[in-house]
Amino acid sequence: MDRDALDEAVADYKRKLRIGAFCLDQLSKTDHEPSLRGYARPRMWAQYAENHRGVCIVLDRESLNQAVRSKYPDHDDSWVRDGRVRYVTVVNDPTSIAIEYREGEVQSCVNEYFARYSDSRFFAKHVDWRDENEYRWVYFDPDESGKKSPFVAIKDSVVGLVLGEDYEGSHLPVARMFAEHYELNGNVVQCRWNRLALYLIPFADEGGRLIAVDKGPKILDFQVGQAYTVPYTPPT
């Protein structure tokens, strides 16, 4: 076996992949338990959003799926997959499946392997990451030259914006421009943690500025697609 040739073929295959990773809401199975929303995970805010100083963009999954598949359609030897990530232990590690090697057909062997085991290779993570409740889109294009833009249009998929608890007030104009561009119509809130409890502070658009309505009702759950038209009277 030519190990160097095999390693290069695998590396070449991975260069032609596009992967998008997102966090799913974890909806409760009973009326007596609160749902765990994708934005309601303090460890993820700390790890991925500059320690609560960033934002979480709320997306509609079905609309995003249409956008992804419009951007990256199946054709010839290309493929696109989407689905929940499975969290596994080392004992049942699906990524340990070996490539069936055939002399003189290294690239074909690699292509066949990833096409056959794409679910195992790209939709499995160690069980330690299970709390992220991840959902992915994976796309492979054998003719990818690197010139094609990897970005997917999300104009019709954005339904809300959640600001981290320590989001800088000086950055509110950026959040407002984002909300205006994506026509969020009031779907802008900010996290407030009280010990283990999360509350969401709604924002009102007043005179071209986003104003936190701290004295208004705190929202316990941000419903996708529901605009928060909170009355706001500027101080005199």
pLDDT at 9: 87
Give the per-residue pLDDT at 216.
54
Q: How many contiguous H segments (helices) and E segments (strands) does the chain have?
A: 6, 10
55-88: buried (b, 16+ CB within 10 Å) or exposed (e) per residue?
A: bbbbbbeeebeebbeebbeeeeeebbebeebebb
* Sequence spans of domains, the chain: 3-40+61-140, 157-236
pLDDT tens by residue, 33-68: 556 888 989 999 999 999 999 999 999 999 999 999
Which residues are bridge partners to 204 per DSSP? 211
pLDDT for the residue numbered 55: 96
pLDDT at position 235? 39
For the chain, residues with pLDDT lower than 70 are 1, 30-35, 91-96, 144-150, 214-236
Q: What is the pLDDT of residue 107?
A: 85
